[in-house]
Amino acid sequence: MTSTQIGDISENVATLLCAGNAREEMMADKFFHDLLQILLNELKQCQPDSESDVCTETQVMKSAILRKVTDKLEQAKHVMCLPSETTHFLLGHLLDDLLVLTEHQIKELITIGVCMQQSPRTFEFNRNYGVMVCRGYVGPNSTMIPFHSVDMHGIDQTTNQLRTILTQPFTPGVVTVVRSARDGYTPRKQVHIIESKVLDALKSAFPPPHYEHQHPLRPRAAWW
């Protein structure tokens, strides 16, 4: 996908879904996931030689998806930015961008999902900024951090380096772990893999009772 495509989808998602805390963020992400899954299921039923109106007419496809997503809209009404009449209009705009994607691109979007544009603890945080596609990387020229697409080999290598560092003769007073998933520093679909490896490394270096893992909705784990 091009950065323009991702930007357009993000803009439409931001006007549709608003989240003020981590729980609402999860709810918004689930709705986006369900919407994409419904879209994917509809597309899978369309064979190359299909003459069905659903497969050949964009408006018919949009109407079919909107009918099937009704229950999901009701379940996620608390994270919709605007009243239901406007929500259907905005959802139609989002579907215009999604219907031009390939099956592979839709599957990738499902793994990436959406998230808040900043942490609720950020100064001057505003729920009305809406959510965005979690791009999972830092864009070129947007930061001093260079672009890097990590794979499992790279994750394992870095984890081993962390284990080596933690074997050095020092005892920290407190270790705080943060995910940095929203800003693109940590790729969204690999956050849980990286986090579990970091926590395992810390547990082996500083075993209980020095470890406390907080509620999963909170972004921290701490050692002392």
> pLDDT tens digits for 16-49?
999 999 899 999 999 999 999 999 998 887 766 6
Residue 217 lies in a domain: yes
The average pLDDT across 140-151 equals 64
Across 79-89, average pLDDT: 88
Would you place residue 172 in the very low, low, confident or very high pLDDT band (cuts 50, 70, 90)? confident
d(CA 106, CA 39): 8
Amino acid 24: pLDDT: 93
| Secondary structure, 3-state, 13-49 | HHHHECCCCHHHHHHHHHHHHHHHHHHHHHHHCCCCC
**SS3 label, residue 223:** strand
User: Residue 66 carries which side chain, given as an amino acid letter?
Assistant: L
Which of 102, 133, 164 marks a domain boundary? 133
Question: Based on the domain organization, do 55 and 105 belong to the same domain?
Answer: yes
Q: Looking at the domain assignment, is residue 12 inside a domain?
A: yes
Instruction: Indicate if 15 and 118 belong to the same structural domain.
Output: yes
pLDDT band at 216, cuts 50/70/90? very low
Of 133, 160, 179, which one is at a domain's C-terminal end?
133
Give me the number of domains the chain comprises: 2
Task: Find the length of the chain.
Answer: 224
**Is residue 87 domain-resident?**
yes
Residues 43 and 99 in one domain: yes
CA angle 15, 93, 136 (to 5 degrees): 60
Domain span at residue 194 reads 152-223
Same domain, yes or no: 70 and 176: no
Quick one: 183 and 111 in the same domain?
A: no
Q: Are 117 and 14 within 8 A, CB to CB?
A: yes
Last residue of a domain, one of 133, 163, 187: 133
Angle between helices 84-98 and 3-16 (to 10 degrees): 170
Cross-strand bridge partners of residue 213: 221
- Is the same domain home to 125 and 169? no
